[in-house]
Amino acid sequence: MTTNVYNISDYAQAAHMFNAAEPLPSVSVFGLGYVGAVSTACLAELGVRVYGVDPDARKVEKIASGQSPIVEHELDELLAQGVEEGLISATSDAEQAVLATSVSFVSVGTPTAPDGGCDMTYVRAVGKDIGLALAKKYDFHTIVMRCSIPPGTTLEVLAPEVERWSGKRLGVDFGVCFNPEFLREGVAVADFRDPPKTVIGASDERAAKMLSALYASVDPDPIVTSIAVAEMVKYVDNVWHATKVSFANEVGRLAKPLEIDSHEVMNIFVQDEKLNLSPYYLKPGFAFGGSCLPKEVRAVGWIAENLGVQTPLIDSLLTSNEAQIAAAEEMVLESGAKSVAFLGLTFKPDTNDLRESPFVTLAARLHAQGIEVRVFDPNLSHDDLHPSALAALAKGDAELTAFLKDLPERMIEDGVEAAETADTLVVSHATNHYREICLRRDPKRPVIDLARLWRRPPSDAGYQGVGW
């Protein structure tokens, strides 16, 4: 275990005392998924020379040609601009990238392990890759973890791995940071340019100073703290977001049988910004999903269990989330539908991310009960429906596997056709296009609205909201 201890108060102030006239350090970004691709493009926009690194040849080819591997607003344009200006390149050669840069961002996957914790396979692998490269390098190098990991991982897993394969010492030859990202899919570029906060957990003054210099133009006053605190902040933020979603959904389920408009209740609730913090997420809707919230809730529950600490609210979040999916399932079954069309399948609008989408779970359950399920979602491309990608989403679950293996054949190219051919419409995303489709449908055709399409729901008998 690495036990280096630094006095944060000594270098937190020093982190701001860099020379703004000095050129920005070059950066290698390990992992070209959501966080990595956005970081690559946005750092290049700041004038940073960026090398993207990924073992996936398709991602490398796309980034190198200035194309985004994901659906994300403005990302294609920024990547193309960075490539054209000679600021962005991509490679599968980790050694080349490390030797050419001063800072390495690590944005690799940290999936849920079988025991509910985090699978550290990719973290250890990138630690080895960077360590082997650092063995051939003499300059000080900063490694920045930018993925969700349990507190202690940066210093107790990544750093020892780098030391082992490089033969070098933390704090002497290289520094490490944990720099949580607060990027919302769909508006990630805007969030990078105008972050709600910039948190830097650093092992030493040089690492803090170098990372602060990179972010100076978007946030000249970062929060510099210990690595463990920064790691915990990421989990706490996401678990709080998960808590807000489940809390509002329980209000919706309670209010509906009382014939109380849950949105009117919550509209009043969120006006108290002094005590109730932010209104974000605090509206009844559907279950939470995606690459962060379910995984972070499981991870924090696992950490608490291993520490012998009781966290009943956090432990109940996935149960509450499951109840929301079950409520929607029951609504569809009560409609008597033999065929259902989903308007949207990704876990949220303006993204192609199907990871842990609650809509996929709901669709799979309906399919397992003999209901014909079809899908309209213009965010999904041929690459997203590749058999290997769908198999990874299923994670061996028989129900999901049965549904996802035929997903390409279930896709409908015309949303109006979906509304005209299905017994019941299930609306997953609150978009104007989906509103138009629902307004143009036969009023006798039921709509199960999981997204709150309208501020004031329509009064026709065919419309139902999941919590209003």
The catalytic site residues sit at 292
What is the C-alpha R_g of the chain? 23
Tokens for 214? 């990179």
Give me the sign of the Cα torsion angle 235, 353, 67, 430.
negative
How many residues are given for the chain?
Answer: 468
Residue type, 66: G
How many CA atoms lie within 13 Å of 151's alpha carbon, on the beta-carbon side? 17
Question: Which residue from 427, 431, 433 is spatially nearest to 450, judged by alpha carbons?
Answer: 427
In the chain the first and final C-alpha atoms are separated, in Å, by 52
Sheet of 447-449: strand order equals 372-376, 339-343, 424-427, 447-449, 463-465
Output 433-436 pairs: Cβ under 8 A, ≥24 positions apart: 433/378, 434/343, 434/344
DSSP codes joined into one string, 276-334:
S---TT-S--S---TTTHHHHHHHHHHHHHHHT---HHHHHHHHHHHHHHHHHHHHHHH
Q: Would the CA dihedral through 136, 142, 143, 149 be positive or negative?
A: positive
| Sign of the Cα pseudo-torsion (289, 295, 300, 306, in order) | positive
Cα separation, 224 vs 9, in Å, equals 9
Give the separation between CA 409 and CA 241, rounded to whole angstroms.
Answer: 35
